[in-house]
Amino acid sequence: MPAAAHLVAINFAALMFMIPVGLASAVSIRVGNAIGRGDPGGARYAGLIGVLIILAIQTVSASLMMLFPEHIVRLYTDDALIAPLAVSLLFYAAIFQYPDGLQMVASGALRGFKDTRRPVLYMVVAFWIVGLTLGYHLTFAREMGPAGMWVGMIAGLSVASVLLLRRFNRTSKAFLQH
């Protein structure tokens, strides 16, 4: 039952994640084009606009999950045992919409700057060390069940978004000074 509820929530979150994936690709291209034409200010601007756009998009996505979780779950199942847990997991999915979108767009902007090595290290630390370790601890040692893994995922995504946004800020400012 927990696996089925998780599948419902993560499937809808993944569906919503396709928008940040597409936007990250667009931001990567826009940043890369600006760098290619010798416009570091335009590259920084493209990245910052991407961040603003993703904040607006993720607000809509998170709002859907917060305001209409029962309706979303009903699209997947009407099982009385699965639905309540799936609804509760959509709350966690709503929370991670912001850091998930931000880390994706920041990563795309950094790809446009041809900055990929450090972001990969940030992802390893954020997801494998912070997210997975915390999720495992909360799920099993603290006996939070499926919610523990989702809290770990939120923590990992939050760490990734902070590190990648900070890296984007530093990288884009460094390009301005060249």
Instruction: Kindly give, in sequence order, each residue whose CB lies less than 8 Å from that of residue 65, ignoring residues fewer than 6 positions away.
Output: 12, 13, 16, 72, 90, 91, 93, 94, 97
Can you state the angle between helices 69-76 and 83-95, rounded to 10 degrees? Answer: 120
pLDDT of residue 152: 98
Cα four-point dihedral sign 123, 155, 21, 164: negative
Q: What angle do CA 10, 16, 19 make, to 5 degrees?
A: 140
pLDDT of residue 1: 85
Do 9 and 89 touch, CB atoms closer than 8 A?
yes
pLDDT of residue 75: 97
Report the chain (178 residues): mean pLDDT per 10 consecutive residues: 94 98 98 98 98 98 98 97 96 98 98 98 98 98 96 98 98 94
